């Protein structure tokens, strides 16, 4: 039996009336950082600039100047101006609101373009260029958002998706995809060609992205103005992008008179050849070990570019004496790794531990209570594998606690064959390369801050970003060798620990 349960594990036990407040990780540390935690980080007041109305054109050729409203004709016409805002938190003082570069627009409406993109999309791993890093202004307790946005922009398949949208999807006048639109526009403010003497661009306020979350019930929990959990924001952000894609796909087919709930894709790598028909609509019969039939069920995953980049699948097998095994295929995004056990010293250790059988005593069955077992395997891996090191857990005596022990990881990761379902071992790519690390700072669950290390698109170097503070680092500053953890010689700060690891499949 486990002594501790993670906050994620306990979330479903919350009062149903409070579920909107505890929608993912109910007891994670959503807090503001105490001043004593970071004496060098001076508090400041900042007033975000009012959003510009860029849909107004001024006619100066006549005596009486009139404002003539006009609709933008493309992504490049949405936002074109830069403004200056007060800024004293280090780095350049010129802050840009998102502007866009000229991009070709195909002669089709947004619904049709999104539908075609979903039908034909394949993740693109090839870096088109390097991008100039820019710091993000922290207007107060939004470092968790800043770190996630930076990690995603330096993720090549995700960045290439934004460029593809900018190129092939017309601007959506119906405003039905606010987060896709704002994120795509924001990505255009990162230069792909610049003076090499200018290592970083002006710091920017990602207001165009953050404002698109306001008024969205999915993001209600983020509107308190307090520090939130970076992993929770990542899930909310990717899920909303996913839903916007699917909504456009459904609207397109509804306009065409097609009956569709979206293109549903069941990822069942390696097991489709052994499926047999079953009258039970909730599952199917699968031929398992020693040709023993098992009941298999799958949570469906609707196809979108987001699920194709970040979505993987787990295979959970429940074995109850005198009953057929029950198999459930469960989607994941990201992959949750428990690190609480003392013998978990590295990411690989955590992956191995994930597949160990879990004993379930007093399991109800037709023969009375029995001892059942549950075992988890990886059924499919996504192109971009995000590993969530579960730092926060709930202790009945002490409440929410943080485990800040070092966990080893390297820039290159080989997924052990033992963690895959037996039927697919040796058939799936297992080599991944690290491209971003999101860190949590703070020695306890009562205060904290988030920073991020990112790798340039072409792999030419690493960059450390703390809101507006940016400097180059070496890969050795990012990696934590297992030998250093085993010998206790790891020289990192105890209060700064890796929280989210972004790995991209090697092409």
In order of 160, 282, 294, 379, the CA distances from 327 in angstroms are 36, 12, 7, 11
Q: Among this protein's residues, is 143 annotated catalytic?
A: yes
Both tokens assigned to 403? 């485990």
Among the listed residues 294, 377, 374, the one whose alpha carbon sits nearest the alpha carbon of residue 330: 377
Q: How many CB atoms lie within 10 A of CB 486?
A: 12
As given in the structure block, the two tokens for residue 247 are 């909504």
Exactly one of 143, 242, 441, 457 is catalytic; which is it?
Answer: 143
Please, are residues 469 and 91 in contact by the beta-carbon 8 Å criterion? yes
C-alpha separations of 99 from 51, 68, 155, 165 in Å: 13, 21, 21, 16
Nearest in space to 337 (alpha carbons), one of 443, 419, 266: 419
For residue 33, indicate whether it is catalytic.
Answer: no
Candidates 242, 388, 449, 457; catalytic one: 449
The encoded tokens of residue 274 equal: 């052994």
Measured between alpha carbons, how far is 363 from 372 in angstroms, rounded to an integer?
A: 6
Neighbours of 477 (CB within 10 A): 11
Residues 458 and 192: their CA atoms lie apart, in Å, by 12
Selection from 335, 311, 346, 310 nearest residue 484 by Cα? 346
| Beta-bridge mates of residue 201 | 134
Contact 153, 131 (CB under 8 A): yes
Peptide bond connecting 334 to the previous residue in cis, omega within 30 degrees of 0: yes
Give the integer Cα–Cα distance in Å for 326 and 10: 24
Cβ-based neighbour number of residue 71 at 10 Å: 8
Give, for 131, the enclosing helix (H) or strand (E).
Answer: none
Please compute, for residue 308, the number of CA atoms within 13 A of its CA located in the half-sphere on the CB side.
20
CA distance 98 to 184: 10
Q: Are 479 and 361 in contact (CB under 8 A)?
A: no
Question: Could you write out the DSSP letters of every residue in 320-347?
Answer: -TTS--EEEEEEESSEEEE--STT--BH
421's tokens: 């379902």
Q: Which residues contact 369 (CB under 8 A, 6 or more apart)?
A: 362, 363
Q: Annotated active-site positions, please?
A: 143, 449
């Amino acid at each position: 039996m486990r002594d501790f349960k993670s906050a994620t594990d306990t979330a479903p036990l919350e009062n149903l009336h409070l579920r909107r407040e505890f929608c993912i990780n109910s007891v994670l540390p959503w807090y503001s950082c105490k001043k004593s935690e970071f004496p060098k980080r001076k508090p400041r007041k900042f007033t975000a600039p009012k959003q510009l109305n860029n849909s107004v054109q001024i006619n100066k050729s006549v005596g009486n100047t009139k404002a003539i409203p006009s609709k933008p004709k493309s992504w490049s016409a949405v936002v074109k101006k830069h403004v200056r805002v007060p800024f004293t938190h280090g780095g350049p003082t010129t802050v840009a609101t998102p502007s866009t570069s000229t991009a070709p627009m195909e002669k089709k409406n947004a619904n049709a373009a999104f539908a075609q993109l979903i039908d034909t999309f394949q993740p693109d791993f090839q870096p088109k260029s390097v991008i100039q890093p820019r710091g993000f202004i922290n207007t107060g307790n939004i470092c968790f958002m800043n770190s996630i946005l930076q990690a995603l922009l330096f993720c090549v398949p995700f960045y290439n998706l934004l460029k593809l949208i900018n190129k092939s999807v017309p601007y959506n006048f119906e405003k039905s995809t606010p987060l896709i639109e704002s994120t795509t526009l924001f990505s255009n403010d990162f230069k792909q060609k610049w003076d090499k003497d200018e290592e970083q661009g002006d710091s920017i306020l990602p207001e165009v992205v953050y404002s698109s979350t306001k008024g969205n019930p999915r993001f209600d929990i983020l509107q308190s103005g307090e520090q939130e959990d970076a992993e929770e924001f990542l899930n909310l952000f990717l899920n909303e992008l996913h839903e916007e894609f699917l909504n456009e796909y459904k609207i397109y087919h509804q306009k065409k008179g097609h009956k569709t709930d979206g293109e549903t894709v069941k990822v069942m790598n390696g097991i489709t050849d052994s499926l047999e028909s079953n009258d039970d609509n909730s599952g199917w019969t699968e031929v398992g070990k020693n040709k023993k039939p098992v009941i298999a069920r799958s949570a469906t995953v609707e196809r979108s570019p987001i699920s194709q980049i970040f979505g993987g699948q787990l295979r959970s097998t429940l074995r109850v004496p005198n009953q057929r095994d029950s198999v459930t295929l469960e989607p994941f995004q990201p992959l949750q790794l428990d690190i609480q056990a003392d013998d978990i010293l590295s990411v690989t250790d955590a992956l191995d531990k994930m597949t160990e059988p879990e004993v379930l005593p007093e399991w109800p069955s037709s023969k009375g209570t029995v001892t059942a077992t549950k075992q988890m395997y990886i059924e499919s891996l996504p192109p971009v594998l995000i590993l969530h090191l579960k730092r926060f857990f709930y202790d009945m005596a002490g409440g929410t606690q943080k485990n800040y022990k070092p966990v080893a990881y390297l820039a290159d990761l080989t997924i052990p064959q033992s963690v895959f379902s037996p039927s697919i071992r040796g058939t799936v790519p297992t080599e991944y390369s690290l491209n971003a690390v999101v860190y949590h700072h703070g020695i306890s669950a009562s205060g904290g801050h988030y920073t991020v290390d990112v790798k340039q698109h072409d792999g030419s170097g690493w960059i450390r970003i703390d809101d507006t503070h940016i400097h180059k680092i070496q890969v050795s500053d990012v990696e934590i060798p297992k030998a250093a953890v085993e010998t206790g010689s790891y020289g990192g700060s105890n209060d700064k620990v890796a929280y989210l690891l972004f790995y991209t499949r090697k092409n």
